[in-house]
Structure 1
């Protein structure tokens, strides 16, 4: 199996984009993409080739054993100290959101754990390098992940913590933070059977979304509202 040297000043965001492109190409049956995956993935299966499989393929193309090893190598060549925490906060956050729609409570346990621990790790790095807004967004991500994989009480705990941080440190927040927090809390309340309270939080989230100044931010919120799971609550 031949490998390729990692480019100088490699960008993990570009590598992540390449992994997404590879996954799509394999799904479309492109021979060159399938050949790459077969050459570098130790257990290639085109019927179940996920983003994580594509990431592993990319890492092994560069002679590394895993995607986390590739992430670490790129990071340590770019930044040090506090900036390293910021770097990992960003990258782990982005990677976890990328994987969120692929993994659920029916996925293998190790995939669920990787998703949840990725969210916790992102939040931990932001505690070192960010402010209370970053902390709140980390709590929101943990809540969404926990709910996605069926850890309902964990999701409720972190959704409440997210909203608490926002209400306590409003001066550090963006106008889209609170609607996101209430969206997560609405999901968690619905999952625990508190339907009336969940509907109230969802309505607050929708009303606050109308007040978000940036059209792109409003669109992101509306797209999230359209995603499951809502646990029987009409989004």
Structure 2
């Protein structure tokens, strides 16, 4: 599965009307689209096709939105190989907006090609194809001459790595969003659901992220444990605290000093949630005793350790 869309933007020294004409007039598309003509009524709900010099279909789809000269949305299917033709249709959206006025009209052209998650061959083909097409469009409208035929300048990419990078970005976003709900508030049922959704989303993406290590897995399990402990789900919190500890053990020397402190904190909080205060007190003390070399890391950890809930555990006495 390919996880990302393609977004290409250009500033073109031409009016929106001229750019729109270049997108929809077959005599113009033929000039900059390397001999390929678009054929369509350009009415919403109807088909369109791009054909080569031999009148062979190379792209087809259905027009979803036609708002001249502002926005054009269409499904998209490449036909010049069986691998491409067999993939599900994707979706292309053109948006035109004014940047400058006549006589110095400039149009901001945005082309977004999405719905590519199940179409890796299309994804790989258009990732270099669209920038070439838009550069040729820009050259044609500004100088009267399109780009010459050019070859793709790089080889195929590892779609798995692209997907992994996307998971990594989503993991960071989800993890950071968890902290927005760990602000000491009294959680409503909706808040509680949202907190767990975010925590599990962070763990889900980190388990699939490019370059994810046992340390990342430990931290992902920790955030799930913290979310459950905050909501009073002691048994589940304790389970994920143990998972975090297991990942950290496998990480060995790759773990930071504060990671071990957080593992103890997670177990202590889960035990306190379960009313096992004597055990919680001992583990809390172990969390406090972990040496953290960096002063800022130590300060952040102590702040997190001080934050509730501690379910009746006297943290001052435990210190």
Q: TM-score range by the shorter chain?
A: 0.5 to 0.7
C-alpha contact 2:232 2:273 (8 A) present in aligned 1: no
Q: Name 1:214's counterpart in structure 2.
A: 294
What residue number does 2:196 align with?
116
Give the aligned CA root-mean-square deviation in angstroms: 2.0
CA distance in 1, matches of 2:216, 2:201: 13
Q: Secondary structure at the match of 1:233?
A: coil
State the 1:137 CA deviation.
0.4
1:67-82 matches, within 5 Å, as 80-82=162-164
SS of 2:293's equivalent?
coil
Structure 1: how far apart are the matches of 2:191 and 2:306?
24
Alignment partner for residue 180 of structure 1, among 262, 286, 293? 262
Q: Aligned with 2:223: secondary structure?
A: helix
Bigger Rg, which one = 2
Instruction: Check the 8 A contact 2:225/2:237 in 1, yes or no.
Output: yes
4+ runs deviating over 6 angstroms: none
Equivalents in 1 of 2:253, 2:201: separation in Å? 25
Q: Distance in 1 between matches of 2:178 and 2:184?
A: 10
- Tell me, yes or no, if the aligned pair for 1:143 and 1:156 is still in contact at 8 Å: yes
Give TM-score scaled by structure 2 length: 0.46
Distance 1:168 1:80 in 2: 27
TM-score (norm 1): 0.62
Mapping of residues 134-145 of structure 1, within 5 Å: 134-145=216-227
Listed as ranges, the gaps of 5+ residues in structure 2 are 1-8, 10-113, 118-160
Is the 8 Å Cα contact of residues 233 and 273 (structure 2) preserved in structure 1?
Answer: no
Residue 63 of structure 1 is matched in structure 2 by none
Q: CA deviation at 1:190?
A: 1.1
How many Å apart are 1:124 and its aligned residue? 1.1
Gaps of 5+ in 1: 1-7, 9-72
Residue equivalent to 2:52 = none
Query: Alpha carbons of 1:200 and 1:102: their partners in 2 closer, same or farther (altered >3 Å)?
Result: closer
Match of 1:190? 272
Counterpart for residue 36 of structure 1: none
Contact 1:103 1:111 in 2 (8 A): no
Aligned ranges for residues 94-113 of structure 1 at < 5 Å? Answer: 94-101=176-183, 103-104=185-186, 107-113=187-193
Point out the structure with the larger strand share: 2
1:102 CA drift (Å): 5.3
CA deviation after TM superposition for structure 1 residue 110, in Å: 2.3
Which of 159, 169, 172 is 1:90 aligned to?
172
SS in 1 for 2:207: helix
The answer to which structure has the higher helix fraction is: 1
SS at match of 2:314: coil
1:203 aligns with 2:319: no
